[in-house]
Amino acid sequence: MARSVAVDAGASAVTGSIHSPRSVLVTGGAGFIGANFVAHLIATDPAVRVTTLDALTYAGSLDNLSSLDGNPRHRFVTGDITDAALVRALLDEDAIDTVVHFAAESHVDRSITGPAAFINTNIVGTFTLLEAARSAWCSAPSTRDARFHHVSTDEVFGSLDAADHPFVETTPYSPNSPYSASKAGSDHLVRAYHHTYGLPVTVSNCSNNYGPYQHAEKFIPTVIRSALGDQPIPIYGAGLNVRDWLYVADHCTAIDAVLRRGRTGHTYLIGGRSERRNIDIARQICAMLDELRPRASGVYSDLLTSVTDRLGHDFRYAIDSGLIESELGWKPAESFDTGIRKTVKWYLANPGHLERATKSAVGIAVSD
């Protein structure tokens, strides 16, 4: 039988309320950010039960959730978010009152060579989840509390010049890659379901994440695995492209704050206030490895190698996270210097993660 929530069909006003999640569906929860968020929820809220749905593509792994093996408050389901029957069944069977939607194809280079998968997962998959939530929650008035949180990226806003102000919540969308275009489409769908059907949604757009369990195809793990393998460390062009970096544990606390206290229908930008050039990050990691695990001969920075730049490579992304900081009282706990040191130490202590993930990495990945 369909459950329902207290929403007004056609509502478009931004309204605020305290949300208390009890049964949470996390999509993409075996991936990098999703797995960290699932662990965060289980560790910080003893009243929460989590159902993790993941298709276990190359980017997801049950190893990322191994710390939750045997936990009675966590259930893992292998499946695709485009499977409408499965998604609806999970919402009903587990009495889901909260959806946190991470599942996405996210590698820009892969989107350039094979965009179809990005349209299917990022747009059709998001549509499937929204339809299931609408059917389960919005069929009749009720006092049930519910929330659909959609996790997105700053890449939907396009590229910044060096002197431009960082992105804010009102920055116009201007995606430049098939990946960012697919995420922009999913963002618009989520907002449309709020304005049209009254579905209680929140959206967050984050800057580049880094930290434990990140897939080997991403920039920071690529630098680490290449260095430790004594292989050339690939850097697009001169490495002058700039990204704002956010430690994954800080991203998890930010999403939790938005989920519980964010205004429905609203978007929050989440950044680390840590802009860095790619070449500077690579050099910093090399210097840390020189200290923590010296090369047999020479220094790791000798391995830095310029390669042909990506097609349509955005120059700079940066986020102004002033809204979430002022409205919800969130701030990142880690600076880039502290976060990157924790990250390098984690990969040194967990070499098997890079070894497993490297088998499915696509070519090179020299900038997220």
Active site residue ranges: 154-155, 179
Q: Tokens 């659909």 label which residue?
A: 148
Which stretches does DSSP call E strand in 6-112? 15-16, 23-27, 49-54, 74-78, 98-101
Tokens of 296: 């047999």
User: At a CB cut-off of 8 Å and minimum separation 6, what does 358 contact?
Assistant: 216, 225
Q: Which two tokens stand for residue 323?
A: 């809204």
Q: Where are the alpha helices (DSSP H) in 45-155?
A: 84-93, 108-113, 116-118, 125-137
**Which amino acid belongs to residue 247?**
Y
CB 69 within 8 A of CB 95: no
Return the HEC string of 243-265.
EEEEEHHHHHHHHHHHHHHCEEC
Three-state DSSP state, 102:
coil
H helices of 198-277, in order, are 219-228, 248-261
* Distant-in-sequence, close-in-space partners of 294: CB < 8 Å, separation ≥ 6: none
